[in-house]
């Protein structure tokens, strides 16, 4: 399982408010069918392969442009772990939570 955390930042907006841009990007991810988790600073997704992962991020970026901005800055962090099976977002969180208890 490949996990990713990404954020798409609109540049040159008339306002500091980003909710319309975030909503457009997250809707694309939700519509993709990939497992996702919205966080306060970005969106996390899981994919079986890099192509699916990058395709959905590219579509989310296009959705932000369609809201009406001329430039975006996208930050992507990818964890492509192949030495273990089923390393989902939830499994990673559970591992740390178990260690905290």
Confidence at residue 6, expressed as pLDDT on a 0 to 100 scale:
97
Q: 23 versus 82: which is more confidently predicted? A: 23
Find the range with the poorest average confidence among 45-49, 70-74, 86-90.
86-90
pTM to 2 decimal places: 0.89
- Where is 10: in which H helix or E strand? strand 2-11
Length of the chain: 101
More confident residue, 91 or 21: 21
The C-alpha atoms of residue 31 and residue 44 are separated, in whole angstroms, by: 14
pLDDT at 34: 97
All domains of the chain, ordered by start, with CATH?
2-100 (3.30.70.930)
Element (H, E) at 19: helix 19-32
Helices and strands: H and E segment counts in the chain:
3, 4
**Which range is least confidently modeled, 43-47, 56-60, 65-69, 88-92?**
88-92
DSSP label at residue 83:
S
């Amino acid at each position: 399982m490949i996990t990713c955390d990404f954020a798409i930042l609109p540049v040159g907006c008339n306002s500091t408010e980003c909710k319309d841009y975030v909503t457009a990007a997250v809707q694309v991810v939700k519509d993709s069918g990939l497992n996702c988790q919205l966080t306060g600073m970005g969106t996390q997704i899981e994919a079986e392969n890099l192509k699916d992962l990058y395709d959905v991020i590219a579509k989310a970026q296009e959705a932000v442009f369609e809201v009406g901005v001329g430039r975006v800055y996208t930050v992507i962090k990818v964890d492509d772990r192949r030495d273990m099976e089923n390393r989902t977002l939830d499994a990673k969180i559970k591992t740390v939570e178990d260690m905290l208890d």
